[in-house]
Amino acid sequence: MKINRGTVKLVSVGWGRSSAGFPSLRTSRFRVAAAKAETIDKVISIVRKQLALPAETKVSPESTFTKDLGADSLDTVEIVMALEEEFGIAVEEENSENIVTVQDAADLIEKLVEKK
C-alpha cells in the first residue's frame, strides 16, 4: 500500500504465470497411490475396528481420520498402534504426525515394510 498526500493508493502484487523460481503455491488434489490395494484394505479394516464404525460408514483411501471418521487424538494413537502390530513395524512419532488419511497410513506402512 502506498500513501500519497492524504490519499490512499492500493497496489496489487500478483505472481503471474512466471513463478521466477518459486515453487507452486497451489496444492493439487491429484495423488499417486503408492500403496497396494491389499494394504489399503487392511488399513480400512483396522480403522473400522478401532473406531467401531458401522458397516454403512464409507471409508476410502481419501478419508481423514479426524474430519471424516471422527477420530480424536487417542483414537489415532490406538490406530497407529494397531497398524504397527498388524504389519510388524514401528512408526516413529514424527511419521505418525503426518498420517492424516487412510492413504497416508497405507503409504507409510508400505515404505516401512520395504525397509524391514
DSSP 8-state secondary structure symbol assigned to residue 66: T
- What are the domain boundaries of the chain? 37-115
SS3 state at 29? coil
Architecture of domain 37-115: Orthogonal Bundle (1.10)
Beta-sheet strands, E only, within 1-116: 2-4, 7-9
Each residue's pLDDT tens digit, 17-52: 444 555 555 554 555 557 999 999 999 999 999 999
Each residue's pLDDT tens digit, 62-94: 999 999 999 999 999 999 999 999 999 999 999
Active-site residue, from 72, 75, 104, 107: 72
Whether 104 is catalytic is no
pTM of the model: 0.70
